[in-house]
Structure formats: C-alpha cells, structure tokens
Amino acid sequence: MSGAHYQVRHYNKNRNTEGKIIESILRIIWWMLTLPFRMLFGKRKGGSNAAFGEGGLDRGFIHKKWQEIETLLKLGQPSNFSRAVLEADKLLDHVLKGYRAPGMTMGDRLKASKNRFSPEGYNAAWQAHKVRNELVHNAQYELMDYQAKETIKNFKIALDELL
C-alpha cells in the first residue's frame, strides 16, 4: 500500500463558474419556496421588533403623523375632515405594512391581521376603513364633522392596539 495518495477536495474554495451558477439558482429556488411562509409568519407583535425602533416603523413618525391628523380635525372644514380620514387610513396601512401584513390592498392587510386586534379593535378598523372607501369611491358622499370624529376615534383604537 505504499504510494497511495488520497486527494482531499476543498469545496467553495475555488469554485468554477458552473458551481456559482448552480448555487445561485438553488438560492433563488429556496427564496421563492420560503417566501409565502415569510409573508405569513413575518414579524409578530411582541417580538424583538415590537417597538419598531430597529429598522421597522418609527414611533416618532407615527406620533407626528397622528398630531397632523388631529390638527386637521381641529381646523374644521369638510375638506380637512376628509383629509384627516384619508391620512389616518394611510397611517394604519403604514403600520400594517410595518408588521409585514400580506396583501395587495389595505383591506387584504386588515383581514390578514385580524389576530393582532381585539374584536372591538378589528371592528373599529373596518368601520373606519369603510368610511375612507366611501370618501374615495362615492363622489356624492359628504362627511359630516361628527362622522369624521367618530372615524378618527376608530382609527385611534385600531392603532393603539397595534402599537
């Protein structure tokens, strides 16, 4: 048995182009296979990102936007009421996206996030979003001041539960 030499291969040290291409293809396939699971089971409330301080949502930004919404309500005028409702809806959608709620529309993201709300909070979010939809899709809809205040209160309930 003299003179027998064994050759040890060192993988990933000097890979050829074919090896790199195959590895890239396998990584893409793995990414595509795991995407639905990452969307469904993404970041959850109470995790390390619960405060959204680290690369997620910024509570300072959310607070600032909420102050702008309340200012619009205080200014009066139907146009300010409508804008306040639209801005509140956008803010709630922003938070849902921060939690990586799946869906193409705000309604889809709300449905996917039902488990993040109490039944009252979920209902408040839907009632508020329905008013927003009336504003956007019904040209003859007139938002009254008491409706705007109730809608903003519902958005506040939903946002408080998420944050």
Q: Angle at the Cα of 114 (from 30 to 128), degrees rounded to 5?
A: 125
pTM: 0.66
Share of the chain above pLDDT 70, in %: 80
pLDDT score recorded for residue 30:
86
pLDDT score recorded for residue 9:
55
Q: Which domains does the chain have, with CATH numbers?
A: 59-162 (1.20.120.330)
pLDDT score recorded for residue 58:
83
Q: For the ranges 34-38, 75-79, 144-148, 151-155, which has the lowest average pLDDT? A: 34-38
The packing angle between helices 78-98 and 145-162, to 10°, is 20
Can you state the percent helix, strand and coil of the chain, rounding each to 5?
65, 0, 35
pLDDT digits (tens, 9 = 90+) for 70-92: 999 999 888 899 999 999 999 99
Q: Per-residue pLDDT for 14 more than 80? A: no
Q: Per-residue pLDDT for 38 more than 50? A: yes
> 126: burial class by Cβ within 10 Å (0-12, 13-18, 19+)?
middle
Share of the chain above pLDDT 90, in %: 55
**DSSP assignment, residue 15?**
-
Q: Per-residue pLDDT for 43 more than 50? A: no
pLDDT score recorded for residue 55:
43
pLDDT digits (tens, 9 = 90+) for 82-120: 999 999 999 999 999 999 999 999 999 999 999 999 999
Q: Per-residue pLDDT for 53 more than 50? A: no
Q: Tell me the pLDDT of the chain averaged across its residues.
A: 83
